[in-house]
Structure 1
Amino acid sequence: MLIAGIPGARKSTLAEPLARTLRRPIVSMDWLLGTMTPFEELDGFAVSLVDLNVAASIARHVQLGIDVVVDVAGHTRANRERLRELTERLGGVFVGVECACSDENLHRERIEGRDRGIPGWHPTVPWTRVGRMRGLWEPWEEDHLVLDSAVETPESSLKRALGAMGK
């Protein structure tokens, strides 16, 4: 299951309990980026390296017949399509979830008040980065589940995500 969205839309708030409930691995872009911070010389390449690592992790789990929860921005059509094609080529079933937050004040409050606790990674992102990512988000035209964290509770989002997976 690909869980995508801009920062603060509650991707990880869904991905972590989903992985725990399903007892399946989770691949998180932010956690992988945190491992790269000691290597300053990789700064310009870190996101590309993490993208490759995410794809390799998905591929290996799907090859082994293990469902995997993927927590990434997934803001471009090309990125989402690449992950879908990889999953399906290896015999897996791709389920896409777009996390959003329709209440800008609530969204900003979440961003400015959080500390994700990821070793080596930033506690949060600046609100300006959220705006920049919102501008880079490409509409998701394929069939997928959309969860609005401004109106859904984490529990109802989890229930709907499990339903999308047929669980």
Structure 2
Amino acid sequence: MLIAMVGLPGAGKSSVAEALGRKVTAPVVSVDPIEAAMWRAGVGRDQPTGLAAYVVAEAVADGVLGMGQTVIVDAVNAAEAARGQWRLLADRHCVPVVFVEVVCSDPLVHRRRLENRSRGIEGFAEPTWEVVEGLRKEFASWTDHRLVLDTMTDMSANVATTLGFLSAAV
């Protein structure tokens, strides 16, 4: 199965993805470290490294699915094109794709999390609240069935809810 995490920066999707990955023993392919690695390798920030990171993540996820394993993709996935990319990849492997949207319903908590986080991704500056607000306005409407998790809820409860949703999707 391909599990595509979706949500704004700082909402908690990477934390949920990592907890879920540990629970189902699935690798998490995260777009942000891939983009940062491109910059460290000398690819200019004026290049479309955001798009390229999604393409690299797809290639890695393709290899994992090709081995018959579940993979979790951790990315904002705000655009329909990104979501379509995961649907097509899952179709190529004849596996289900499950979208898990992660939100933080309290804007003050969301902003505080964003402003206080340090993920330790070398060369990757955390986005500002203004960037997050801009992404929120650009978020494409949904056509897919998805699970929406609120990270104001306990992590273990969110993981349990996700596991139930995944079982129903199989």
Same fold (TM over 0.5): yes
For residues 165 and 27 of structure 2, what CA distance do their matches in structure 1 show? 18
May I ask how many residue pairs the two structures share in their alignment? 165
2:16 is aligned to 14
1:136 is aligned to 138
Give the gaps of 5 or more residues in structure 1.
none
Give the gaps of 5 or more residues in structure 2.
none
- The answer to whether the 8 Å contact 1:58/1:87 transfers is no
1:153 alignment partner AA: D
Deviation at 1:80?
0.6
Deviation at 1:35?
0.6
For residues 102 and 118 of structure 1, what CA distance do their matches in structure 2 show? 26
1:63 aligned onto 2:53: no
For residues 2 and 46 of structure 1, what CA distance do their matches in structure 2 show? 20
For residues 68 and 43 of structure 2, what CA distance do their matches in structure 1 show? 36
Match of 1:37, SS?
Answer: helix
Deviation at 1:45?
2.1
TM-score, normalised by the number of residues in structure 1: 0.92
For residues 105 and 135 of structure 2, what CA distance do their matches in structure 1 show? 15
2:159 is aligned to 158
Match of 1:43, SS?
Answer: coil
TM-score, normalised by the number of residues in structure 2: 0.90
1:159 alignment partner AA: A
2:7 is aligned to 5
1:91 aligned onto 2:94: yes
1:43 aligned onto 2:46: yes
Match of 2:112, SS?
Answer: helix
Closer, same or farther: CA 104–42 of 1 in aligned 2, 3 Å? closer
- The answer to whether the 8 Å contact 1:59/1:86 transfers is yes
For residues 118 and 84 of structure 1, what CA distance do their matches in structure 2 show? 28
Deviation at 1:37?
2.1
- The answer to whether the 8 Å contact 1:65/1:92 transfers is no
For residues 52 and 113 of structure 1, what CA distance do their matches in structure 2 show? 29
Deviation at 1:42?
5.1
- The answer to whether the 8 Å contact 2:32/2:53 transfers is no
1:120 is aligned to 123
1:99 alignment partner AA: V
Closer, same or farther: CA 37–159 of 1 in aligned 2, 3 Å? same
For residues 44 and 132 of structure 1, what CA distance do their matches in structure 2 show? 21
Deviation at 1:41?
2.4
Deviation at 1:48?
2.0
For residues 162 and 34 of structure 2, what CA distance do their matches in structure 1 show? 24
Report sequence identity in percent: 31
